[in-house]
Structure 1
Amino acid sequence: MTTLQHIGLGLGRIRHWHDGLGEFSRQLTLALAQQAPRLREEHGIRFHVHLPRAYHGEFGDAVGYLDTHTTQRWLHLRTQRFALWHTFHQHNRLRAPLGTQRRIETVHDLNFLHTKSGTKLARYRERMRDRLAHADATIAITHHVAGDIERELGPLRTAPQVIHNGATDLTRSPQQPLDGLADRPFLLHISRMAPTKNIAALLDLAAAWPEQRIVLAGATSPYSTEVQQQVAARALGNVVIRLDISEAQKAWLYAHCTGFLFPSLAEGFGLPPIEAMHFGKPVFLSRLTSLPEVGGDVAHYFDRFDGAQMRSVVEAGLAADRQPGRAAAIAAHARGFSWQRCADAHIALYCRLLAR
């Protein structure tokens, strides 16, 4: 009988799947769970997913489930010993179980470099440096993030390994129309509606282009309330906000928008632009952080964030992407980011570490 090697997948105290970290955690775990029977048979590997009890069973019965608890921030005890523990993101503050032999940390971004300063920045940097110092491997989701890690936190025990995220192809998913949006064309933005997503620039674009409808979709939050207040105060009648949309509604928005806007100030990856590209849609990005790496030469880029200049970029890009073959090229670029390919790269890393 093959001795099992137990691998913990540390999703942490996740609350929902509706943001970038939630989508990453869910899709990667689904892709790993699909291969769990084969990995157990061929390599003696058994996956255990560490997340709140409310989500136990989410990934089928080929994987085990471990409950989370606040005390695991300081001490995590299990009777089961783990050969490997993979912490899925840097915001997961729960420790690997005591006695774990190998540890992997995935870093999605170092956005604190852009949002913190002074002693708070130094504290965040030191905390992250300490986490990675104890890791046997570090995964960065883009080359941009890997460069940030090596520049700001190095030297590490081993250089970061880049494994690009996948991006879900929703083109064959069920679609649900949103009331009041089918009557005329619209440009689309989807995100968690945080200040770093540069919603302010999109409102300036709307002010400079009053005849163009712009739909902003995201999650309910204090900041989304602030955005709603700004839209009302500036009387931006061409801006429509839709919060807490379903997957079917998201698929409908991607399918029916004329273009996708994502002028983010700080991204580790940027899943929504690739999701829009699966539909062959023109995508407009900032040139900051990881977005040029992800968007490649099929995206269009904002060099400045004043409304008039952004309008010019979008109008030119929409015209260019009406040319024959452009939609197909955009969709082909998106297919390069698959969750199965992402999972395969993770499994290869797991096997290398287990073989040490």
Structure 2
Amino acid sequence: MDNNSWLLLQEQEAGHRLAPDLAARDPFGARDCGWVEQMRPFIRQFCPEGGVLLDPFCGFGTTLMAAHLEGRRGIGVELEPARAGIAQERMDRAGAVRQTVLAGDIIKAAAQLPPIDLLLTNIPYFGCRWPEEGEAQLYNSTTYAEFLEQIYLVFKGLKPLVREGGYVIVMAENLRIGQHFVPMAWDVARILSERYDLVDERILLYERARQPLPALQVQSNRAHEYALIARKQARAIDLQESLSCVRALAAAFPDIVVYGSYAHWLHGEALERLPSDVDLLVPDDLEQLKKLVCWFEAQGFQIARWGAPLASHAVPLAANAAHYFRAQRLRASGELCVIDVCFEDAQLSYPAALSQAITFGGIKVMPFR
């Protein structure tokens, strides 16, 4: 793969396609089977030699075939047993002995999987209602909100498997369902950015029949999709910019408590890794939380809960479903400030934190240990 932001896919090599007799065993003729050529450049660049890749939505084993051709070990998990069987036979025919196909739910399978260097997959597309395969399939979700929630849970659950510095690359396309444009690729990118560092993208272009587009007609031939590239790594916040923000916040809300890695940095402790955010512990008080969100909004922060935007008027609803919200501000000059505001910590209560805190430069900070 070169440094172009796009990859043109013109044709599939016949020897790498799913064999016709295997495709015929699928009730839908394997019409959603991907291209081996689509996956090979990403495996070559983002999975080291000797590395392991995972496709959590394995389908017919296209990613595993690409891994075989690139000399990498691959693991694929496919919910539909019959489809997993087709993928396994495809590997057997190719002599792909380093490729493993598992049938079952990816979250349940995660416990038996080894650490991986690259998570590479095509997202199941919302709106492909194939009831014959059961409601457990992601593309059979009845609502878009339900679909996105399941996508979030998958990538949250798989994060512990990805090695530090490893990559997560997801192929996704924006959709048209009926008369509705659905920004699925962009929503998946937002979900990824909540748990990983979203670092780049590629646009995949498919050579398809071109026809003139009449004037004022919007709908194109949809001959492209996105490869969203994320990495498991700590994002670098601007420590001094964050300190200025926390000081201003402490002046407005004197009883907030800074804890976690940023508190250790404030104490001058030598850290193996610099903080990627500022952790605050605050009272579990709805009115206080709404005021905090309003303060962040006034300072130009984006507020989110589990990656979804959050406004001050929605705090009562959000507080029932999460124990924190995230405030993030990126200045035009590049300084990033990320603050996680926690109001229900599993190991440390706010009253206990407040009683132990020491004042450090006008900021209440958990004491050095």
Report the TM-score, using the length of structure 1 for normalisation: 0.31
Structure showing greater radius of gyration is 2
Higher strand share: 2
Report the TM-score, using the length of structure 2 for normalisation: 0.30
Higher helix share: 1
